[in-house]
Amino acid sequence: METKAIRVFLFALLLIAAPFLQVARGQSDSEVDTSETVEESSDLGIVGEDVQDFGDGNFSPAPGVDTICVFPKNSAKSVTAGEETELLVGLKNDGESSLNVIAIKASVHLPFDHNLLVQNLTAQTFNNGSVPASAQATFPYIFAVSKFLQPGTFDLVGTVYYEIDQQPYQSTFYNGTIEVVEAGAFLSIESVFLVTLGFALLVLLGLWIHGQIQHLSKKTKRAPKVEVGTRATDASMDEWLQGTAYTQSLNKSSKKKK
């Protein structure tokens, strides 16, 4: 009891100056009527990156607890640098005891090496995030990557921390890629590169086709080679030598033959 009281007191101190938002109401499974909610509402507190005592430990996931992550109206998982992005974390409690969600946090890593941490995102805590047994609930998580982060593909790792019978657990609800884009930019650097490369290939293909057409047209315009017979050649030579001593000698020889 003393341990629980101390823990509640610490969380209360963390949430004194935090704004309050409404947490999505949990819905029970098939055993509970769909119109009945798990809880009416719960208060949400935003905690800075410097307060993450709950995340110092490395806990295992609880049996019977499943998680799912959805980017609402953002199937491309595109994140604008410096602007808030919302995702929904769903928990399904198939265990025998109620669980209490403590906090949700996430971090950004380089895609080729998870050991290279890019940014620890803001942690979000809950002071009343209970999910009864055989029930499910959805919790929003709002984060923003640094406005100085270069556009590109990064890995996002999201973790939810919760308690069951005062025993801490954690589950990774998302471990995948996100596309960080520059604020106000419609195309990322990779998209611009691909478009430019495609345009250059089309230009090269057009130049190659144009060269082939010109090469074929030159072949067709070449004049055919005409062979000139000896008779035609001799006639032209006779016309050119007409009236000369050569033609006169030829005429005399022909008369003698007669």
- pLDDT tens for 147-180 read 999 999 999 999 999 999 999 999 999 999 999 9
Q: Is the confidence at residue 16, as pLDDT, over 70?
A: no
For 122, residues 6+ apart whose C-beta sits below 8 A from its C-beta are: 46, 47, 48, 49, 105, 143, 144
**pLDDT, position 228:** 52
The owner of tokens 């017979």 is 229
Which of 38 and 3 is assigned the larger pLDDT? Answer: 3
Which of 112 and 6 is assigned the larger pLDDT? Answer: 112
What average pLDDT does this structure show over 239-257? 61
Nearest-angstrom CA–CA distance, 11 and 17: 12
- pLDDT tens for 203-229 read 998 888 988 888 887 777 665 555 555
Which of 167 and 39 is assigned the larger pLDDT? Answer: 167
**pLDDT, position 31:** 34
Which tokens is 188 given? 């990322």
Instruction: Identify residue 38 by its one-letter amino acid code.
Output: V
Asked whether the whole model's pTM tops 0.85, one would answer: no
- pLDDT tens for 79-106 read 999 999 999 999 999 989 999 999 999 9
In percent, the amount of the chain with pLDDT more than 70 equals: 60
H or E element, residue 184: none
Which tokens is 106 given? 């996430």
